[in-house]
Amino acid sequence: MITSFLKTIALTTAAFAFVACGNNEAPATSSSSVEAETTKPAITKFNAYTQRFADETFLTQSHATGHVDDVFFTHWKDGGEASFKLDGKGNFTINWIGGNYNYVGGPGWEYGDKHRVIGYNLSEDSGASYVTLYGWGYDKDMDPTGPSHLVEYYIIQRWVRTPAQGGEEGITFMSNGVEYTTYRTLRKEKPSINNTATFYQYWSKPKEQMALGEDHKIIFADHVNAWEQSGWKIPNMNNFDASDDPTYQVFAVEVFLVEKSGTASGRVWEHKD
């Protein structure tokens, strides 16, 4: 969850989401005050995405989005104390203090790619609500009254709260030796990357939680195919058409309404076979 997604204060669901805060974006706190030189064009449609930092970046403010070198990040909280440290190799550490608030953030990409294979190694997780691959799909050419035109997705890896509570169960499938089950939930008139809307959430939940200290792969195409085989439509996951955010994809850590303080740390990369 993400931004990039402005959340409701009612945190009674097990879902999460957040939006980059555009012109209201607070400046990031970085170990380097010099923005990274890059040959990649800045994302000018969304002001929050123009921040680029060359060195390890440490975030403590309420929300920020941008890049450390070429690693995209999101960082959002509605209160409490949580921080996010990230370097240009995808190494990250998220610390949180227990309390009645919601935090979500992580490294990833400013656009989705159905063929992306995500590699990660989570060295520590002391009680995050979810550790998940998270992102959005949006298709301006699909019927805007149909929830499938806008999809928020979660490929859960670890959890302390049950994902997709009350959702419709789809199929069970195997991906990279891991058994997952798909679920679909509906969000009615909630904030999203395209203003307030009614949209679906697609979930993949593994039978068992992923182990710490090991390299793992998330083969995104397997999950997209499984959602399709569940009978669910898939919108475009690589565009800048939405009003508030592009269809980004991040390896996210979420904590909400947690009693205990904790840490999640590791590294995320795009896996090349």
Which tokens belong to 28? 């990031």
pLDDT value of residue 90 = 97
- Per-position DSSP letters for the chain, written without gaps between them: ---B-PPPS---SS---B---GGGPPPPPBS-SSPPP-SSPP--SSGGGG-EESS-EEE-SSEEEEEETTEEEEEEESSS-EEEEE-TTSEEEEEE--EEEEEEEEEEESS--TT-EEEEEEEEESS-SEEEEEEEEE-TTS-TTSGGGEEEEEEEEEESS-TTTTPEEEEEEEETTEEEEEEEEEEEEEEEBTEEEEEEEEEEEESSPPPTTSEEEEEHHHHHHHHHHTT-----SS-S-SSS----EEEEEEEEEESS-EEEEEEEEE---
- Over residues 95-148, the pLDDT tens digits come to 999 888 889 899 999 999 999 999 999 999 999 999 999 999 999 999 999 999
Q: What are the tens digits of pLDDT across the range 9-37?
A: 333 333 333 333 333 333 344 443 333 33
**Stronger pLDDT, 271 or 151, i.e. the higher one:** 151
Q: Are 229 and 210 in contact (CB under 8 A)?
A: no
CA gap 67, 222 in Å, rounded: 27
Return the half-sphere exposure (C-beta side, CA atoms, 13 A cut-off) of residue 108.
31
Q: What pLDDT does residue 86 have?
A: 97
| Chain centre to alpha carbon of residue 11 | 17
pLDDT confidence band for 259 (50 / 70 / 90) = confident
Tens digits of residue pLDDT in 34-87: 333 334 455 677 766 778 888 899 999 888 888 999 999 989 888 889 999 999
pLDDT confidence band for 157 (50 / 70 / 90): very high
Instruction: Report the 10 Å Cβ neighbour count for 214.
Output: 10
What is the model's pLDDT at position 168?
97
To the nearest whole number, what is the mean pLDDT of the chain? Answer: 84
Residue 188: pLDDT over 80: yes
Do residues 185 and 166 lie in contact, with contact meaning Cβ atoms separated by under 8 Å?
yes
> 188 and 152 in contact (C-beta within 8 Å)?
no
Q: What are phi and psi of 92, to 5 degrees?
A: -140, 155
Find all residues with CB under 8 Å of 228, minimum gap 6, and list them.
234
- Of the pLDDT bands very low, low, confident and very high (cuts 50, 70, 90), residue 4 is very low
- Contact yes or no for 135/116 (Cβ under 8 A): no
Please give the positions annotated as active site.
Answer: 152, 254
pLDDT band per the 50, 70, 90 thresholds, residue 8? very low
**pLDDT for 211-255, tens place per residue?**
999 999 999 999 999 999 999 999 999 999 999 888 999 999 999
Say what the pLDDT of residue 265 is.
98
C-alpha span between 272 and 179 (Å, rounded): 22
Q: What is the mean pLDDT of residues 183-195?
A: 92
Name the pTM for this structure.
Answer: 0.84
